[in-house]
Amino acid sequence: MQKRLISKEMLLFFIMISAAALGNGLSDSVYSNYFKEAYNVTTTQRAFIEFPREMPGLLCALVIASLSMLGDAKISLIAQLASCIGLMALGLFTPSYAVMLIFLFINSMGMHLFMPLSDSMGMALAEPGQVGRRVGQYASLKMLFGFAAGLTVFFGFRFGAFSFHTPVNLLFLIGALSFMVAAIAAALLVKRHVPTLGARKRVRLVLRKQYRYYYMLTMLNGVQKQIAYVFGSWVIIDLLLKRADTMSLLLIASSFISIFFMRAIGRWIDHFGIKRMMYVDALTFIFVYTIYGFVVWGITSKVLPGAGWPVLMIYALFVMDRLSMQIGVVKAVYLKSIAITKEEITATLSTGTSLDHVVSILAAQLSGFVWTIWGPQWVFFMAALFSLGNLFVAWRVKIGENGADGVAE
């Protein structure tokens, strides 16, 4: 039984990732409603906002590479402070559109820096043979606090405690406080001087042939992420004209299911292996986006009613899409299984994050154009087509001679 107890370092990591998830759930998950209600943005403007919001992801590899000598723990502390400062500024006053984009960039830089760090730190702190289990646990914690954030948003807006039309945004201030708690946990991790999270030689950008399928998966994720988090939400907000309380209910549902779903994924990775989980990942994306496209087409063309079961179907697809995105944690475990050295994991994850966001920014602009010119359904059909790439990677990945998952040459 003693082997199942977690270390103090892992506990601090769990606190940090939980607080960051809460802060993220109280901000990033409602940004679309914030932009619509506080600034009344159009679909074209919503697509443009993805430049400052996703640019930090594009710069992620360069920033982490330049700070690599500090170590993962110190970089994560910087990330949480940036998230806190950016969100606090948005909460204290409603700035002009241009100034808002600056603070959005600062907040987004912090959140994007922590994306690859969360996976590399979690796997570095995991016990041998327990990587999948620990990944499932911390991913489940993220969902649990995302669920708590969804409840907070729903009841806050339903009973008038939160509003995007007031000078001071209480919701964002609470989110900033959560990021401060995450920063304190990161500072305590720094103080403990964990060898696997400490200073190391400066690492350059990692672009190796051996990691090509990992990079391909991250770029495909960039497309899928835009559809899931931006345009999947925009269907409900702009097409169905639903407000923040409806969105929070959907996030509550997806987060609640994900609490148990992520723990199961962690066990499945250890039990079934990476290759089979990649197939599951690919097939769920193809299925969800194809059905999404047909239902959206039916509503916009008046073949299906804009109320009743088609709307419930959109809600169900939204939740399924969020669950599908969670299976993507298999990418990080796959990278760990093929990494040439442990030192390259963080650098490769951050390079993957940057590639993800290069595609993400382009996908946002392309999707906004497609939505406006041809209709929203084609955004989802396009995503389903790109998801065939996930199926190709799953087919190419093979089991190595040592029993670990590897890549086909």
pLDDT tier at 175 (50, 70, 90 boundaries)?
very high
Confirm if 58 and 376 have CB atoms less than 8 A apart: no
Q: Are strands 405-407 and 397-399 parallel, antiparallel or unpaired?
A: antiparallel
Confirm if 150 and 29 have CB atoms less than 8 A apart: yes
Mean pLDDT for 166-183 is 94
Confirm if 182 and 16 have CB atoms less than 8 A apart: yes
pLDDT of residue 128: 66
pLDDT of residue 196: 60
Domains of the chain: 2-407 (1.20.1250.20)
Backbone φ/ψ region at 400: left (φ over 0), alpha (ψ -120 to 50), beta: beta
3-state class percentages of the chain: helix first, strand second, coil last, to nearest 5: 80, 0, 20
Mean pLDDT for 95-113 is 91
pLDDT of residue 130: 66
pLDDT for residue 404 is more than 80: no
Record the tokens describing residue 67, joined without a space. Answer: 């700070």
* % the chain with pLDDT above 90: 18
pLDDT in tens, 283-293: 988 998 999 88
pLDDT for residue 2 is more than 50: no
Range in 21-30, 192-201, 203-212, 345-354 with the lowest mean pLDDT: 192-201
Secondary structure (3-state) at 160: coil
Record the tokens describing residue 183, joined without a space. Answer: 């920063």
d(CA 120, CA 336): 9
Confirm if 356 and 258 have CB atoms less than 8 A apart: no
Least Cα distance to 377 among 290, 289, 292, 293 occurs for: 293
pLDDT of residue 402: 34
Record the tokens describing residue 245, joined without a space. Answer: 């309380």
pLDDT for residue 199 is more than 60: no
Mean pLDDT for 322-342 is 78
The residues that bridge with 405 in the sheet, in sequence order, are 399
Residue 257: CB atoms within 10 Å: 17
pLDDT in tens, 301-319: 888 877 788 889 889 888 8
pLDDT for residue 201 is more than 60: no
* % the chain with pLDDT above 70: 91
Secondary structure (3-state) at 271: helix
pLDDT in tens, 351-382: 887 788 788 778 877 888 888 888 888 988 98
Per the listing, tokens 């304190």 go with 184
Mean pLDDT for 37-44 is 81
Task: Give the best-scoring range by mean pLDDT among 56-60, 180-184, 371-375, 383-387.
Answer: 180-184
Residue 55: CB atoms within 10 Å: 17
Residue 168: CB atoms within 10 Å: 11
pLDDT in tens, 239-296: 788 877 787 788 788 878 877 887 788 778 878 888 888 888 889 889 989 998 898 8
Record the tokens describing residue 142, joined without a space. Answer: 């993220």
Which residues, including other chains, have CB under 8 Å from residue 280's CB and lie 6 or more apart? 327
pLDDT of residue 169: 92
Q: How far is CA 111 from CA 218, 276, 296, in A?
A: 17, 30, 31
Record the tokens describing residue 395, joined without a space. Answer: 């087919």
Confirm if 266 and 131 have CB atoms less than 8 A apart: no
Phi/psi at 397 (5° precision): -70, 135
pLDDT for residue 328 is more than 80: no
Mean pLDDT for 125-141 is 74
